[in-house]
């Protein structure tokens, strides 16, 4: 999470690597087990923005603030916001009249948006702008008569939100086999959209199958899979050949985190995903001299630091950051969340708390 970096006295911004000894170098000269940190890893601009929206709403309007679905798919983040006064709900009927409601980073359907407006809530939309881009493209092409093939995972809130932009005319495929089972009403005006957190390679394979069956299908002008998903997968591809085992920090519900572990396994590198350091098992590291470590786009850096400490306790003596892309994207906040000076200070301290 590179945008608008802030640094605390005892750590760098979430999503950034920290010198383990307070120096500018991560590397400790030793012959023991080595940890290689992926770069980039952790928070992306969309996750950063979504969390800040909830925290600013809490500061400006006071608790409780209602959030439809988990703001991002990370247990630590959700629990931290619950402690601050956020209430996570799935059914809008659970939100009292006049309350402040935040839509999660995954986006929501048109029906949910309209229902929330009818109920008179004060609404802040934390949908990732890259997801919103897909929604806008669907709406635009729908007016031109297009039907859609959506590549994604059934039941994922982002998929439900994107498919819910239309009442009909959008067909979900989860794998290559699904491509043969869909039945668009016409094939002259057909477009592909994808969930933003998919495996880049899997999405390319499914898209190729779609094009083989529907040669006139229209691909997105820009790839729907977001920059952060691709960058983290590219880092794992580079890292996998350099390590004996890869640990991915991420929650089970996190699509992009799951894809990182799957990718490493496909490349022949033993990989495990953990929600936090308590899930690490000593047996995983037996006979392993080189340990790779990355984090999904919704996992805060504090969890990475705790995993490093745990692996060091198991015998790791060297931590090194790999070379990688520095992400500088920053998404603007919605209107209505500007704080006074004291509120801005409070919001800043809250961010630093997650980095500690």
| Residue owning tokens 């495996």 | 199
pLDDT greater than 60 at residue 201: yes
**Which is more confidently placed, 13 or 159?**
159
Domain limit, last residue, from 213, 239, 265: 213
Task: Identify whether residues 112 and 145 lie together within a single domain.
Answer: no
Residue 348 confidence (pLDDT):
59
Residue 12 confidence (pLDDT):
33
The verdict on whether omega for the bond into residue 64 sits within 30 degrees of 0, i.e. cis, is yes
Distance CA 209, CA 214 (A): 8
Residue 339 confidence (pLDDT):
83
139 located within any domain: yes
Percent of the chain's residues with pLDDT above 90: 83
For the whole model, what pTM was predicted? 0.87
Task: Identify whether residues 107 and 156 lie together within a single domain.
Answer: no
Q: Domain limits at 197?
A: 130-213
Task: Identify whether residues 254 and 311 lie together within a single domain.
Answer: yes
Asked if 342 and 59 count as a contact pair (C-beta separation under 8 A), the reply is no
Task: Identify whether residues 96 and 37 lie together within a single domain.
Answer: no
pLDDT band at 223 (very low <50, low <70, confident <90, very high): confident
Task: Identify whether residues 122 and 144 lie together within a single domain.
Answer: no
Provide the domain count of the chain. 3
Among 161-170, 176-185, 220-229, 317-326, the least confident range: 220-229
The per-residue pLDDT for range 8-45, each reduced to its tens digit, is 333 333 333 333 333 333 333 334 789 999 999 999 99
239 located within any domain: yes
Task: Identify whether residues 245 and 301 lie together within a single domain.
Answer: yes
For the domain that residue 92 is a member of, what is the CATH number?
Answer: 3.40.50.11270
Domain limit, last residue, from 159, 179, 213: 213
96 located within any domain: yes
pLDDT greater than 70 at residue 99: yes
Q: Which residues have C-beta within 8 Å of that of residue 202, sequence separation ≥ 6?
A: 175, 259
26 located within any domain: no
Task: Identify whether residues 255 and 173 lie together within a single domain.
Answer: no
pLDDT band at 341 (very low <50, low <70, confident <90, very high): low
Average pLDDT, the chain: 89
Residue 32 confidence (pLDDT):
74
CB atoms within 10 A of CB 207: 21
pLDDT band at 350 (very low <50, low <70, confident <90, very high): low
The arithmetic mean of pLDDT across residues 219-225, rounded, is 81
* Catalytic machinery residues: 158
For the domain that residue 306 is a member of, what is the CATH number?
Answer: 3.40.1010.20
The per-residue pLDDT for range 116-147, each reduced to its tens digit, is 999 999 999 999 999 999 999 999 999 999 99
pLDDT band at 7 (very low <50, low <70, confident <90, very high): very low
DSSP-assigned states of every residue in 191-231 = EEEE-TTS-HHHHHHHHHHHHHH-TTPBPPSS-SS-HHHHH
pLDDT band at 269 (very low <50, low <70, confident <90, very high): very high
Record the tokens describing residue 75, joined without a space.
């247990």
Domain limit, last residue, from 188, 213, 238: 213
pLDDT greater than 70 at residue 92: yes
121 located within any domain: yes
236 located within any domain: yes
Percent of the chain's residues with pLDDT above 70: 87
| Residue owning tokens 């390679």 | 201
The per-residue pLDDT for range 281-297, each reduced to its tens digit, is 999 999 999 999 999 99
């Amino acid at each position: 999470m590179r945008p608008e970096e802030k640094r605390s006295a005892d750590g760098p911004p979430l999503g950034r690597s920290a010198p383990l000894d307070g120096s500018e170098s991560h590397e400790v000269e030793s012959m023991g087990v080595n940890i290689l940190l992926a770069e980039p890893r952790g928070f992306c601009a969309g996750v950063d923005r979504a969390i800040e929206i909830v925290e600013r709403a809490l500061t400006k309007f006071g608790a409780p603030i209602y959030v439809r679905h988990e703001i991002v798919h990370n247990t630590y983040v959700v629990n931290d916001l619950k402690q601050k006064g956020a209430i996570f709900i799935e059914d809008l009927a659970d939100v009292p009249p006049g309350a402040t409601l935040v839509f999660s980073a995954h986006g929501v359907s048109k029906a949910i948006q309209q229902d929330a407006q009818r109920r008179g809530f004060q609404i802040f939309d934390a949908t990732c702008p890259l997801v919103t881009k897909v929604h806008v493209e669907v709406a635009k092409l729908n007016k031109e008569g297009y039907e859609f093939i959506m590549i994604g995972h059934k039941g994922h809130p982002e998929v439900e939100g994107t498919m819910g932009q239309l009442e009909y005319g959008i067909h979900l495929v989860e794998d290559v086999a699904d491509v043969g089972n869909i039945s668009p009403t016409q094939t002259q005006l057909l477009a592909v959209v994808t969930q933003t957190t998919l495996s880049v390679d899997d999405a390319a394979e499914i898209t190729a199958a779609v094009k083989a069956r529907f040669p006139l299908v229209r691909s997105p002008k820009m790839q729907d899979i977001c920059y952060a998903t691709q960058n983290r997968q590219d880092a794992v591809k580079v890292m996998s050949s350099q390590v004996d085992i890869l640990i991915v920090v991420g929650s089970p519900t996190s699509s992009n985190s799951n894809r990182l572990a799957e990718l490493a396994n496909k490349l022949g590198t033993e990989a495990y995903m953990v929600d936090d350091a308590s899930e690490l098992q000593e047996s995983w590291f037996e006979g392993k001299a080189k340990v790779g470590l990355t984090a999904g786009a919704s996992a805060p850096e504090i969890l990475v630091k705790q995993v490093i400490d745990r692996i060091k306790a198991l015998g790791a003596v060297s931590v090194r950051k790999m070379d990688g892309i520095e992400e500088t994207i920053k998404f603007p906040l919605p209107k209505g969340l500007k704080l006074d000076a004291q509120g801005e200070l409070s919001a800043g301290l809250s961010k630093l708390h997650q980095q500690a």
